[in-house]
A and B are shown apart, each in its own frame.
Chain A
Amino acid sequence: VQDWLQANLVSLLNGIALGVLLYVLAVGLSVMLGMLNMLNLAHGTLYLLGAYAAYTVVGPDAGLMKFGLALLLAIVVGAVAGTALELMARPLEGKGHMDEALLTLGIALAGGVLLSSVFGADIHSIPPPSELGSSVTIAGQPYPLYRLALIVAGLLVAMGVEYVLERTTTGALIRAIVHDREQVSVLGVNVRYVMLGVFAASSALALVAGVLGGPILGAAPGLDGQVLLLAMVVVVIGGLGSSRGALIAALVVGVVQNLGTAISTPLAPFLIFGTMVAVLALRPNGLMGRAAVGR
């Protein structure tokens, strides 16, 4: 076991880095689906928008300052995009998933075409901040510093989300809305404002994930669909509306994807969806899903 761990440590670490990135992307999707019963198929497009934002702001030899600027831009644009999305989705209130899915699918398709007409069909690579461009030695093997920083950044986001959801009044409201929205509005809380906030925060996180993932996954047409699919799998495995579940699920998907590719490349995609099927068979609400979703 020790030998195996030694040989696969870098793959494992890499899986964690990918997992943490998936968490930042998926947690908003999970809370939105859990809380608002809102299927946001444009979430991947928001990720790609973040990646292109990073591509535009972060040039070659750019430092952490520029990267921070890209993150700030991602948060602002994300909040605006989330608000716009909420306004567009408002008329569909209570019409069910299919209408919301069609709306956000339309936004995703139009957004995808718009992005590729602005940024072209090229696959752009984004350099990591110059301070984090080097490699460090871990267990005798070089490992890119940026990916370690990504793990730290992602875990910080996870702690932040966890704190807001579990330790603050806002979080309590959000959790209460996940459980019983009408009851909460009866208590005199304006559910709409809370929802608007969740839309904005969730979209901002998707763009932040795009910036953070830029130096690893780049920015290219088609990436929106790829990351959306992975985020969906994370949401399904983790359970709706659970930040902790999303974190565990994202790490599982990241590690399975990376170790799977290292061990048997053709089997890797099967392993991820196999994990999803297995989890659904044993726990239909996901690992940490709240049993009673909806009203």
Chain B
Amino acid sequence: VASKRFITAMAAALAGVVTLSGCGGSAVSDQSGAAKGGDTATVNIGFMAPQSGPYAILGKYLTQGVDLYLDQKGAKLGGHKLNLVRVDEGADPKTALPEVRKLLQQDKVVAVTGIINSGVGAAAAPALTEAGVPLLTTANDYAGKYDHWWNAGWGNFGTTVAMADYLAEQAKGDSVYLIASDYTGGHGVIGQMAGALKERGVKIAGETYSPYGTTKDYQPFLAKIKASGAKHVFAFYAGQEAIQFVQQYKQFGLDKSAQLYSNFALTEGVLGAERDAAEGIVTVSNYSTTLDNPANKAFVDAFTKKFNEPPTVYSEASYSAMLALDKTVGEMKGQVTGPAIQKALASMGDVDSPRGTWTFDENRGPVESFYILQVKKTANGLEQPVIKDSGKYGTRGNKVQ
């Protein structure tokens, strides 16, 4: 009798736990206002950014970029009244896809922007293609693979290859260890990095992936790096995962045995939380607040005034995506529809954004300059000055002159 009671108890308990963990993610959902429907003067644009999950911080930065645009342009897009419908990207496609469907069916948007997780982009792209609605993201791992997916931020491929060029100079005869978060973006970047390093004659010491979104303790993975004896480590983490990885990398003494490299995601916008643990990390980026051009100076000033903190790569990218849409819709004759924007984006030409001038290439991603940065302690605290200008790269990681 006793064990029967026990089993009933545990069955009820486990059922409860499963329900509990299942419900956790969906607590935050629709915050958007009502759709405007068939009003031709208003352009409905969907903006999807994570408000929850491991990339919630990055979602904040994406939103800042868009909010600054709305401020400066008075909620207009290419002269039309803009109705921006905001939805939560959440942690993964599972939470994001219902929101994409809502944007298409309920809000009748003509374009979607935002989206930080390439996995979400890849899941959303087929539905958007079917509806003829273009997607302008801030990142993309699949240059050219999806017909309606445009990338106004950084191409992960170009970012990775620019870093591979630098790593090849630094590592010489040594091998490089690769570690990333276990999701589409992580596998994409590490796959590209491994390929690019092999092409440049650099050996791979090992490759490991930590479960995405649930890993809090990186010690088992750091132990693998330690055991490999590698002197160079390339890591791909962003948001909260980046903070914990960087702090534990130092706590477990890896910073003394191996130089840490990454793309900007490891330090951008999270440097304040990582603090001294981030010192010395080398990253690659398509944007730095220190870039010397008038558009950037105006952007940094306006941004800092509005948000009391300097802009990040993410804010610059979401801001630039809005600039690209603004330019396309502004030059459009006739009705603003998804297919019309899709067609116009192909012949958009140069966009003047804070990071400099860039344009879409045949893979619907930007041709742009990349810079190698290093975290240094200065009188102003931690800063990321440019230590090398890597020049322009295309979406396939091809060097462009």
| A interface, CB within 8 angstroms of B | 7-8, 10-11, 14, 18, 33, 37, 39, 41, 44, 60, 97-98, 101, 104-105, 108-109, 112-113, 116, 120-123, 125, 135, 141-144, 216-218, 220-222, 224-226, 228-229, 232, 236, 240, 258-259, 261-262, 265, 284-285, 289, 291-294
Contact = CB atoms under 8 A, between A and B. Distances in A.
B5 A293 contact: yes
A97 B8 contact: yes
B12 interface: yes
Contacts of B220: 11, 14, 258-259, 261-262, 265
Residue among B3, B7, B15, B51 with most chain A CB within 10 A: B3
The 4 residue pairs across chains A and B that have the minimum distance between CB atoms: A142-B253, A225-B21, A262-B220, A121-B52
13 contacts: A10-B219, A41-B13, A97-B12, A101-B12, A112-B20, A122-B240, A141-B226, A217-B216, A217-B217, A218-B244, A232-B17, A261-B220, A262-B223
B6 A142 contact: no
B19 A105 contact: yes
Contacts of A33: 9
Contacts of A141: 226, 252-253
B295 interface: no
Interface in B40-85: 51-54, 56-57
Contacts of B387: none
A222 B226 CA distance: 31
A11 B223 contact: yes
B401 interface: no
Of the four ranges (under 10, 10 to 19, 20 to 34, 35 or more), the interface on chain B belongs to 35 or more
B244 A97 contact: no
A101 B12 CA distance: 7
A8 B223 contact: yes
B192 interface: no
B38 interface: no
B400 interface: no
Given A122-B56, A141-B226, A222 B13 contact: no
Contacts of B251: 135, 142, 144
A232 B208 CA distance: 30
A113 to B, nearest CB: 5
Nearest to B20: A225
B9 A228 contact: no
B214 A39 contact: no
Interface string B233-274: 000000110011001100111001000000000000000010
A41 B14 contact: no
